[in-house]
Structure 1
Amino acid sequence: MAALSLPVIVAPSRLHDQAVPWLQSLGGPAWIVLGDPEAGPRWVVVTLLHGNEPSGALALHRWLLEGPRPRRPLWVLLANVVGALAHPVFTRRHAPDDRDLNRCFRAPFAGPSGELARAIIADLVAMAPELVVDLHNTSGNGPAFAVATRRHPVIEALAGRFCERLIVTDLRLGSLMELPHREPALADCPVFTLECGGALQLEAREVAGGLFRLLADCQDLSALPCPPDLEVLVHPLRVELRPGAVVVYDRGPNPDADLTLWARIDEHNRGVTSPQACLGWLGPAGLGCLQAIDGEGRERIAELFEARDGRLHARRTLRLFMATTNSEIARSDCLFYAVPA
């Protein structure tokens, strides 16, 4: 295998017993390799693409302290270490004055995040992995779920062991899981995102740790059966604020906001959302402060939601996920995703 762009640490036998000093000792992004780095095929887990989503890194640290010995080579990338360690630790999506790393896996590769994304792509191409799992936390509290850009038996078999729902999306945002569509060398590799749950949920760390243990014990991914109760939802819509719109979270309408979302909107990450549920309150522009553009560039917001006496309601029964109560994430990323139930 050709030399990699990022540092490689093989089978770390000694590490600090606390996660933050351990990450500080890395000095930046790094590959942690368990097993013979020259053996193959390689399975890859990526974590800390977002610095405020630490469950994967925390689970990895705890697992490494146990001295694991995977049956197959396992490569784990700790990506946005700088963003994760920016004060206060594990609270920033990315370092100040930088870009969201998980929107940088396509040209132009500008700024530090773009350069790091390009280095990660080069390393993955050089590795020719058999699997890539990207560990994240959800923006709000909620159950674990998986996201992929296509259906694949290995993706469904692995996802079904840690969550009940797989989202298959046609949206293209520049994320790592889109690489099979852009890099011919990765075209046949199953790549998916596992959203482990909220960053403060202990269950999220258990999901991430469960993935490491499963991959350490497994010898043949193709032999894993797909759980029969995995729900597959296709082509969710990303609900965003229009540029310049202001959102706040409260228990009643805020006259200074274009949209006031219910203070516990993240409760809708579980189960279904009925048209009877009030999701928030709209300002003078009504639904005009929102957009939901599909993979073909069509505006779909009016198919999903409607205004009733100034309140925001689903037009039909929906499943919402990734609903956040963080106004900064809502402004810079999205409010939530929605798909008809």
Structure 2
Amino acid sequence: MKLHDVPLPTQEEYERGMLSWLEAQRGPVWVTLPGTNADRHRVVVTLLHGNEPSGVNAFWHFALSPPACAVNIHFCIVNIDAALNDQPFTTRHLENKPDMNRCFGVSGDDASYTLAAEILSRIEALEPEAVVDIHNTSGTSPAFAVTINDDEKHQQIASLFTERMLCTSVRLGALMEQTMAQSPFVTIECGGVQDHNAVEVAKNGLHHFMTAENLFLNHTGFWPVERLYHPVRVQLKPDLTLCYHDRFVEESDLTLPPDIDRHNFGWMAADSLIGWLGERGLDAMTTNDGEGKHPISDLFYENDGELRLKHPAKLFMITTKHHIALSDCLFYMVVD
């Protein structure tokens, strides 16, 4: 598995549609749109997760008639195999493959790690002015950005797409963790796949990203960016059971409401009901904030089997997709 340099689709290929074009590719692709200044570069990475298509849909929107790019714009479209598996854009990663956005800056035996290293090497050789990695959340959600760096450059890139930016200390092997002083990396979560405006977030943000003569000089952004710090990753421990239901499900270690994702980015008061716990109680859950703080018992308490918040908090990246909740995480949270 390696990157393939390919041209923009022809008129004929465009008319056959995006799926047909993706099916014709031999694997991950790298597409370059020439800019007015050919000595400068910006990079867009998308489809690291095969079930998150807003970025590739935005690419397709620009593919036939690109805007006047200020610099060379490079699109890296990664996990095409997963995107085409079964029903298009429903598979995060193939069962026998690791999550591609857990392969950067780490090593492993699978070819996915080699591909991640090749992508990073290609980016580093270009020394781009900025890198954005376009994603969708696994549940309904407003758009937000994620970074590991809270400086002005990262904020300004985020502001092209959204009004929210998370600054995290959690390290998982994600692309944005490879950010560099000369090349800031920012993840953009455009919202859920089913959210009607998710593709518009990607299209509008990328248009500014592609056409702005200078992303940073005298740039105050299109949104005043709300910054949230030290998000905590909340997970169910391995090999435990999770259900989504409007009441406790017997023999389940954790039951969450089927509409829990309606709380994405809304402040929740202390004592708010999150779900229901089984016999293991709070011990069924674990946390990771990248700094060894915020154990489960600091964030939640159990009351007659109910899982409740100890403090006011904002939850996000909540998913109601059972397999993603178990393989990735239940949600993230920031405590007031």
Which residue matches 2:67? 68
Distance in 1 of aligned mates of 2:170 and 2:266 = 23
- Alignment of 1:229 with 2:224, yes or no, is yes
Q: CA deviation at 1:188?
A: 2.9
How far apart, in 2, do the equivalents of 1:243 and 1:178 lie?
Answer: 25
1:330 to 320, 325, 334: 325
1:203 maps onto 2:197 in alignment: yes
Describe the SS at the equivalent of 1:222: coil
User: Partners of 2:79 and 2:39 in 1: how far apart?
Assistant: 26
Is the contact between residue 148 and residue 167 of structure 2 (CA under 8 Å) also seen in structure 1?
Answer: yes
Assess if the C-alpha contact under 8 Å between 2:35 and 2:70 holds in 1.
no
Deviation at 1:217, TM superposition (A): 2.0
Which residue in 2 is equivalent to 1:127?
126
Normalising by structure 1, report the TM-score: 0.92
Retained in 2: the 8 A contact 1:153–1:226? no
Of the three residues 283, 291, 306, the one matched with 2:286 is: 291
Match of residue 280 from structure 1? 275
Q: Normalising by structure 2, what TM-score?
A: 0.94
Q: Find the residue that maps to 1:70 and give its secondary structure.
A: coil
Range that drifts further, 222-231 or 267-276: 222-231
Residue in structure 1 matched with residue 4 of structure 2 by the alignment = 7
The size of the alignment, in residue pairs, is 332
Q: Is the 8 A contact 1:50 1:136 kept in 2?
A: yes
1:240 to 235, 245, 250: 235
* RMSD between superposed Cα atoms in Å: 1.8
**Alpha-carbon separation, structure 1, partners of 2:234 and 2:293:** 13
Q: Which runs of 5+ in 1 are unaligned?
A: 181-185
- Give the 5 Å matches for 1:34-45: 34-35=33-34, 39-45=38-44
SS at match of 2:115: helix
Other-structure match for 2:20: 21
- Once the two structures are TM-superposed, the CA of residue 275 in structure 1 deviates from its matched residue by 2.3
Partner Cα separation in structure 2 for residue 37 and residue 95 of structure 1: 39
| Cα distance in 1 between the residues matched to 2:256 and 2:187 | 27
Deviations 1:168-189 (A, max 9, x none): 0011101101113xxxxx4431
Is contact 1:236–1:337 with CA below 8 Å preserved after alignment? Answer: yes
Residue type of the partner of 1:262? P
- Partners of 1:39 and 1:265 in 2: how far apart? 47
Structure 1 equivalent of residue 308 of structure 2: 313
Could you tell me how far apart the structure 2 residues matched to 1:229 and 1:67 are?
28
SS in 1 for 2:334: strand
Distance 1:253 1:282 in 2: 8
Contact 2:36 2:70 in 1 (8 A): no
CA distance in 1, matches of 2:207, 2:301: 45
* Letter matched to residue 306 of structure 2: R
Aligned to 1:191: 185
- For 1:40 and 1:304, the matched residues in 2 are separated by 50
Deviation at 1:197, TM superposition (A): 0.1
SS in 2 for 1:39: strand
The equivalent residue for 1:183 is none
Q: Percent identity?
A: 39
- Aligned with 2:65: secondary structure? coil
Structure 1 segment 50-199 matched on structure 2, within 5 A: 50-180=49-179, 186-199=180-193
Give the match for residue 256 of structure 2: 261
SS at match of 1:116: helix
CA separation of 1:77/1:228 partners in 2, compared to 1, >3 Å: closer, same or farther? closer
CA shift digits 1:157-205 (9 cap, x unpaired):
232232221000011101101113xxxxx44311110000001222110
Please say if residues 246 and 257 of structure 2, whose CA atoms lie closer than 8 Å, have aligned partners that are also in contact. Answer: yes
Query: Secondary structure of the residue that 1:16 maps to in structure 2?
Result: helix
Equivalent of residue 213 in structure 2, options 212, 215, 219: 219
Deviation at 1:112, TM superposition (A): 2.6
Q: Is the 8 A contact 2:82 2:92 kept in 1?
A: yes
Q: Residue type matched to 1:236 in 2?
A: P
Cα 1:71–1:187 shift into 2, 3 Å: closer
Q: What residue ranges of structure 2 are gaps of 5+ in the alignment?
A: none
* Structure 1 residues 81 and 154: alpha-carbon distance in aligned structure 2, compared to 1, 3 A threshold: same
Structure 2: distance between partners of 1:53 and 1:132: 18
Determine if contact 1:34/1:69 at 8 Å carries over to the other structure: no
CA deviation after TM superposition for structure 1 residue 264, in Å = 0.7
Q: Counterpart of 2:268 in 1: which secondary structure?
A: coil
